[in-house]
A and B are shown apart, each in its own frame.
Chain A
Amino acid sequence: MAGEPILSVRDVNKTFGGVKALTEVSFNLMPGNILGVIGPNGSGKTTLVNVITGFVKADSGQVLYKGKDLVGTAPHKIADRGLTRTFQVMRPYYSLPAYKNLIVPLFSPRARRTGGWRGGGRMGSRDTVAVDILEEIGFERESYVPYKTASSLPTGYLKRLELARCLALRPEIIICDEVFSGLSMSEMASMVPLMEKLQMEGITLIMVEHRLRELFRLANRVMVLNFGAKIAEGVPVEVMADKQVKEAYFGSEEVFSYV
């Protein structure tokens, strides 16, 4: 592939009290691509997300974003530079209505600098912009859903709200930590085109997932983690065929027929 990678992770290590959460993890991410990260429970996927976004400091190694090392940078500064994330356990502002949840990112320095969303204007009412983003992400505009408090929304909407929070920043990379988990089949089905749309708009995505079927449809490349180490990386077909991956992750061949 031509061009410079937008994000390049090099030899990242992280231990938690003797447990190796990440060992020598490296990968490159090209602009506009979708990278899928899979692995069994406890294989260090979420730790990787935390390391990249600055919520956890790597013991050693580099996270190069547009050529600059992010290790040791505060999470809010990383987000300010356009690298955002969703949380596996959803973290909305429960006491606020859904659209007011987006006021917080829209009020951030980055969003104010870049001028809001879609010509929402620098000083255009943030409430309108927020409702626009929610509509974009699949909230029905005319209904009362965007005005309900976040605590009363079902999981599907909360996942979307997480994504919307990232989008409000007009990011360059979004790292999605298990956006598909906990969704019903139909909710998932509507989520896939959404991700495709984001990719078409030029946003680079890292998707940490358990749902292989949807992920393999979306991802340009897939990386497999096991016990904190990278055991395979490549286009989905290659990874599916990899023997080591089958043994470590799937255990048997039969699961693959499902995929």
Chain B
Amino acid sequence: MDILIYGVINSATLALMALGFTLVYGVSRLPNFAHGALYVLAGYICWLLLNRLGLPYILAIALALGLVAVVGGAMYQLILVRIRGMSISEIIASYAIGLAILEGLRWGGLKGGTFTLPAFLEGSVDIAGVSVDFQRILVVVLGALLVGLLYFFVNHTRLGLALKGMAQDERAALTLGIDSDRMAVASMALGSLSAAVAALILLPLGSIVVEAGYHVLIMAVAVCIVGGLGSWTGAILAAFVIGFAQILTTAYLGAHFQVVVAILAIILTLILRPSGLFGKQKELEERV
């Protein structure tokens, strides 16, 4: 039973981590390797606002979300737009930015377990004999909510539809008067925003550490690749596949294997089915 419950929670966690990555890739074909850095940055900014400036928690959260979205958008507008379309350069450059943010933060003093955010709700509840604290339930609820919101946003708002149009065919979108650069900035900001949301929901469960940045990046990449890059439903399903696989290996083999599972999932998926478990793209090798 606890495998089921923790499996669901872990899967929701992974889905949250991966949403921003898949959003950005889906719209602007940009593999945002600074994703993990944005995640940590959001947590750190929130912590600063909360503890150094003494702002109320809600306000700190709102400000942190906004700031990270701006950082993400600016990152695209100022730097990444210049190497648009050269995917390898995009990976290297965004990874370099991520590294610079993370290692810069570490140098700036983000070390050890002293940086924690308070939980939204204290306490815990028994579900079928397993004690689960409220924050973890909140992870599942908010995760589902965020997916729902993004789904609504993409399918029922002007901006969202423009993003979707660009994801499907950039040139056609251009001829319909959609500014692809601005849309890419918007998607990047949105992706950063969801990284920040994920951070603020998940970080109260632990402490803010630099390593989380790398961890989140690996997990996001794993989920997106297993699910098929740029595919929404694929990413969510893949989050469940990997989530349960991790919980099962933790239960039967040991916690060391969590990351091993994720990395193996990436490697195996890419070798066996490069378009991902649920990807609709033609097999990559066949593209003539």
Contacts and interface: CB of A to CB of B under 8 A. Distances in A.
Interface in A33-68: 50, 55-56
Contacts of A55: 286, 288
A55 B288 CA distance: 7
A17 B283 CA distance: 11
A50 B288 CA distance: 9
A237 to B, nearest CB: 34
A56 B286 CA distance: 7
A16 B281 CA distance: 11
A16 B286 CA distance: 11
Nearest to B280: A17
Nearest to A87: B288
B155 to A, nearest CB: 23
Contacts of B288: 50, 55-56
7 contacts: A16-B282, A17-B282, A50-B288, A55-B286, A55-B288, A56-B286, A56-B288
For the complex of A and B, the 7 pairs showing the least CB-CB separation, nearest first, are A55-B288, A50-B288, A56-B286, A56-B288, A16-B282, A17-B282, A55-B286
Interface in B240-288: 282, 286, 288
A55 B287 CA distance: 9
A88 B282 CA distance: 20
Contacts of B286: 55-56
Interface residues of B, number: 3
A168 B55 CA distance: 75
A56 B282 CA distance: 12
B262 to A, nearest CB: 30
A64 to B, nearest CB: 23
Nearest to A89: B288
A181 B282 CA distance: 27
Interface in A206-238: none
Interface in A102-158: none
A195 B277 CA distance: 47
B218 to A, nearest CB: 32
A17 B279 CA distance: 13
A55 B286 CA distance: 7
A56 B288 CA distance: 9
Nearest to A50: B288
Contacts of A17: 282
B268 to A, nearest CB: 22
Nearest to A53: B288
B256 to A, nearest CB: 40
Nearest to A47: B288
Contacts of A16: 282
A17 B286 CA distance: 13
B279 to A, nearest CB: 12
Contacts of A50: 288
B231 to A, nearest CB: 15
Nearest to B288: A55
Nearest to A46: B288
A158 B1 CA distance: 66
A13 B282 CA distance: 18
Nearest to B286: A56
Nearest to A75: B288
Contacts of B282: 16-17
A56 B283 CA distance: 11
Interface in B212-235: none
A113 to B, nearest CB: 27
Interface in A65-85: none
Interface in A1-57: 16-17, 50, 55-56
Contacts of A56: 286, 288
A68 B286 CA distance: 23
B83 to A, nearest CB: 20
A56 B287 CA distance: 9
A258 B126 CA distance: 84
A54 B288 CA distance: 11
A109 to B, nearest CB: 22
B275 to A, nearest CB: 12
B122 to A, nearest CB: 51
A52 B7 CA distance: 48
B202 to A, nearest CB: 38
B286 to A, nearest CB: 6
A55 B285 CA distance: 9
A146 to B, nearest CB: 28
Interface string B89-106: 000000000000000000
B191 to A, nearest CB: 29
B52 to A, nearest CB: 54
B278 to A, nearest CB: 14
A16 B288 CA distance: 13
A256 B286 CA distance: 38
Nearest to A57: B286
A51 B121 CA distance: 61
Nearest to A55: B288
Interface in B161-200: none
